Amino acid sequence: MVNLFSSEVINFLNECGQNSQEKIAIEITTNKIEGNNFIFLLYPYNSYTETLLENSNAKKKSLHIFEDLWRTRTEIYKNKIQSILGSNQTIAARACQIVKLDKINADAFFNKNHLHQSTTAGHKYGLIYKNKLVAAISFSKSRVMTDGQIYYRSYELIRFSNQLGYTVTGGLNKLLKHFIEEKNVQHLMTYIDLNWGDGKAFLDFGFKENGQVLEIESYVDPSTHQRSKENNLASNQQLLKVPHLGSKKLILDLRNY
């Protein structure tokens, strides 16, 4: 039986599929929606206690869609789906201008366009196309790290996102190269949310995998769709534990030994 959440996702995919080269086949019984090059895995509230579904074909992109985030970040999920299906408006990064962003503009952009919204960052940049901000990236301030007795400075890439409805081809590469050159970056790290993607764009740029990090447990109230790090099941039997694949740590090491 398909619930309202699953029906909404399936209907949206069918709408997108009408304007896409992708062929979509729906497997309702397993909460899987599969196409030529992708697999969408659906998690209605009644499946949160179950094991995460697997992508049975490693060659296909996968996206885990959770009911609480679909309710609170609907447009971001829809944009991700459109991007996977190739139905977003495409802009070449070479046609964009790089600008520095202040906290107000960066926060506003990420709160609207990034699944995890904005967070504290030391350096923020954007891509402007026809006077419109179409992509943004943020980094931490440098931190002193050590390999034994060798000290070096490392930055963390914290957020990257395109504007909803757009895919900036080469945008990530252009912003990364600019930051590396401007700050003379020798070491850079980031984390990939495995529920959201596989980090292929970062790996193509030259990042290397450096282990996996277990996600901090979080819980959701299905009546409000709000997540929390606190487990108050003793006082609120409505909270559900959110399943998560964890995150993958990636490293870009440009040091000359």
Regarding whether 103 and 51 lie in a shared domain, the answer is no
Written as six digits, the tokens of 112 are 């609207």
Regarding whether 26 and 97 lie in a shared domain, the answer is no
Regarding whether 123 and 74 lie in a shared domain, the answer is no
Tell me the C-alpha distance between 104 and 124, whole Å: 11
Task: Report pTM.
Answer: 0.86
In a domain, 72, yes or no: yes
In a domain, 220, yes or no: no
Boundary-marking domain end, from 36, 71, 87: 87
Regarding whether 103 and 63 lie in a shared domain, the answer is no
Regarding whether 126 and 72 lie in a shared domain, the answer is no
Regarding whether 76 and 157 lie in a shared domain, the answer is no
The residues pairing with 168 across neighbouring beta strands, listed in sequence order, are 91
What is the rounded (10 degree) CA torsion for 5, 8, 13, 14?
140
- Domain of 94 in residue numbering reads as 90-185
In a domain, 128, yes or no: yes
Boundary-marking domain end, from 66, 87, 108: 87
Written as six digits, the tokens of 14 are 């069918």
Regarding whether 172 and 123 lie in a shared domain, the answer is yes
Boundary-marking domain end, from 40, 66, 87: 87
| Contact between residue 28 and residue 50 where contact means Cβ atoms under 8 Å apart | no
Regarding whether 176 and 94 lie in a shared domain, the answer is yes
First to last CA, the chain: 59
Q: Which pLDDT belongs to residue 237?
A: 63
Q: How many folded domains does the chain comprise?
A: 2
In a domain, 240, yes or no: no
In a domain, 242, yes or no: no
In a domain, 76, yes or no: yes
Range 148-152 contact pairs with CB under 8 angstroms and sequence separation of 24 or more: 152/186, 152/187, 152/255
Regarding whether 102 and 82 lie in a shared domain, the answer is no
Written as six digits, the tokens of 204 are 């193509």
What 3-state class would DSSP assign to 165?
A: coil
**Pairing state between β 132-139 and 143-147:** unpaired
pLDDT tens figures, 20-68: 656 565 555 567 777 777 888 889 998 887 767 666 666 778 888 999 9
The residues pairing with 156 across neighbouring beta strands, listed in sequence order, are 189
Regarding whether 179 and 94 lie in a shared domain, the answer is yes
Q: Which pLDDT belongs to residue 3?
A: 81
Q: What is the CATH number of the domain that holds 134?
A: 3.40.630.30
Q: 204's torsion region: left (phi>0), alpha (psi -120 to 50) or beta?
A: alpha
In a domain, 199, yes or no: no
Tell me the C-alpha distance between 224 and 256, whole Å: 51
Low-confidence ranges of the chain (pLDDT < 70): 1-2, 17-30, 51, 53-58, 230-237, 257
Inter-CA distances, 91 with 54, 127, 170, 199, 232, Å? 33, 11, 9, 21, 46
In a domain, 75, yes or no: yes
